[in-house]
Structure formats: structure tokens, C-alpha cells
């Protein structure tokens, strides 16, 4: 089931944020980016293991797992992440780490555990958003929240789509020319105006890269504002 964009294609899909859905955790957040759903839970800070004690700063750990029903092949087996989950965890960690004051967590580890409940496009942004808000919910000292979006551009290069769903991504791949499709993901500390991550895959001609980046930045700032409002609403309860 997919949710198509309005004609302009520069609109975000509906974003639902539930703060502290797991009341007994240090921090938690449930993100629904239309039909893409991710749960984030924070554990710690806990003392670093013996092989981490030499580090003066704290360490941020990220673990990503698919729910058993989240993909066709099911969730990962046992406690270990599979290769896809490891790749997602690395991207999320690298995106979130600049926003965390790790010097305030000396010789400690803070873990963010993310579960993918459903994927309909925008998975990496949903993981980053959920992880950032769960960290804020836990009370860990942050420099800022990290907002994130995905953008796409099809082979014809006529229109940049902000926050595409799976159906729109498949449409951009039509005609057997998916290798020429462009997909980008950006993470931004909106309050500070600092990009924590930006990845763009596919051939981009002329000045279109600047256009893609501008659309992504605008989307990240809009997401960051929604995140900030959700956090303020939670604090006012």
C-alpha cells in the first residue's frame, strides 16, 4: 500500500510522532512516515566494556533489526544483525553521532535500538528521526535534533520528488533504466544549520545537484520543526 504525492512532489508525506510509547524505557519514540513505521528505544548510558575504557568520550551504539513481518525474508536471526541491518545501523550512527555530546558520557555507552515495522520508502530518514527523538526523550545531552529526508529523481530528470514512497520510487525506475535514477538522503541539525550526513547515488547533470540539495535541505528543516514541536508538546504534558 503506497501513498502518492500531490502533483508538486515537493511535499512531505504525513509524519506521525509518538513520544515515549514505551513508558518503562530510558527513552523511546514511534515514527510513522505515512506507511513507513519505525520504533526506537534507548538503553543506557551503561559503563563501557574493558576494551572501550581507554576512550575518554562516551560511545554511541546503534542496532537496527527488521520486525519478523517487516520484510519478505523476515527479521534477522538471533541477536546478530544481518548485512543489510549492519549497513543501516552504520548510516544512522554516523548521522546521529555529531548531535550527541559524547564528552558528557565519559567511558559510557548509550545504545539506540531501532525496529523496522514497515517500509514504504524513506526508511533511512525514518530511522534517523526515530533515533534522534528517542535520544532526546532519554535525557541524553544533545546539541540538536537531526531531521532527515530522502529525495529522488527519475531517468528523465524532469522533477525532483521529496520523500518518495515505494510506488513513486518504482515509477522512477520504470523503463529498465533504474541505474540512471538519482536517490539522495540528507540529515540536518536544523537548529544549528549543520548537515550531519548526505548521500547521493546516481548520475546528476549540470546544476541539478544544487537543486536536489536545496529540496532536501528544505525538507529536513520542515521535519526538524515537526520534531521540535513534538518534543515541546511532550514536555508540556
pLDDT of residue 180: 66
C-alpha cell at 34: 505515512
**Which CATH number does the domain housing residue 222 bear?**
3.30.230.70
Least trusted range by pLDDT, from 25-39, 120-134, 142-156, 185-199: 142-156
The DSSP result for 87-112, as a single string, is: HHHHHHHHHHGGGB-GGGGTTEEEEE
29 within domain boundaries? yes
Of 84 and 155, the one with more pLDDT: 84
Of 118 and 179, the one with more pLDDT: 118
C-alpha cell at 207: 546544476
pLDDT of residue 68: 86
The mean pLDDT value for 213-236 works out to 94
230 within domain boundaries? yes
Run of H or E including 150: strand 146-153
% of residues, the chain, pLDDT over 70: 85
Per-residue pLDDT of 40-49, as tens digits, reads 999 988 887 7
Given a contact cutoff of 8 angstroms between Cβ atoms, the answer to whether 151 and 216 are in contact is: yes
Per-residue pLDDT of 60-110, as tens digits, reads 999 999 998 877 666 555 667 889 999 999 999 999 999 999 998 888 899
6 within domain boundaries? no
What is the tally of structural domains in the chain?
Answer: 1
Give the chain's mean pLDDT.
Answer: 86
Closest by CA position to 215, among listed 171, 181, 164: 164
What range defines the domain where residue 77 resides? 15-236
Run of H or E including 179: none
Per-residue pLDDT of 175-217, as tens digits, reads 445 556 789 999 999 999 999 999 998 877 767 889 999 999 9
10 within domain boundaries? no
Amino acid at each position: 500500500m503506497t501513498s502518492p504525492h500531490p502533483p508538486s512532489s515537493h511535499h512531505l508525506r504525513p509524519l506521525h510522532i509518538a513520544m515515549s510509547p514505551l513508558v518503562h524505557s530510558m527513552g523511546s519514540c514511534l515514527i510513522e512516515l505515512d506507511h513507513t513505521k519505525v520504533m526506537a528505544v534507548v538503553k543506557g548510558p551503561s559503563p563501557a566494556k574493558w576494551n572501550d575504557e581507554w576512550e575518554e568520550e562516551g560511545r554511541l551504539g546503534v542496532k537496527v533489526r527488521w520486525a519478523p513481518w517487516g520484510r519478505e525474508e523476515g527479521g534477522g536471526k538471533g541477536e546478530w544483525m544481518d548485512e543489510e541491518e549492519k549497513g543501516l545501523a552504520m548510516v544512522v550512527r554516523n548521522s546521529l553521532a555529531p548531535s550527541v555530546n559524547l564528552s558528557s558520557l565519559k567511558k559510557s555507552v548509550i545504545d539506540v535500538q531501532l525496529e523496522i515495522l514497515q517500509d514504504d520508502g524513506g526508511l533511512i530518514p525514518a530511522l534517523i528521526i526515530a533515533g534522534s527523538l528517542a535520544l532526546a526523550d532519554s535525557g541524553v545531552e544533545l546539541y540538536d535534533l537531526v531531521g532527515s529526508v530522502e529525495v529522488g529523481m527519475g531517468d528523465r530528470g524532469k522533477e525532483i520528488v521529496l520523500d518518495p514512497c515505494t510506488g513513486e520510487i518504482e515509477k522512477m525506475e520504470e523503463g529498465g533504466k533504474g541505474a540512471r535514477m538519482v536517490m539522495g538522503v540528507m540529515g540536518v541539525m536544523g537548529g544549528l544549520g549543520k548537515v550531519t550526513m548526505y548521500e547521493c547515488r546516481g548520475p546528476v547533470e549540470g546544476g541539478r545537484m544544487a537543486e536536489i540539495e536545496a529540496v532536501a535541505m528544505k525538507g529536513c528543516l520542515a521535519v526538524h520543526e515537526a520534531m521540535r514541536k513534538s518534543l515541546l508538546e511532550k514536555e508540556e504534558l
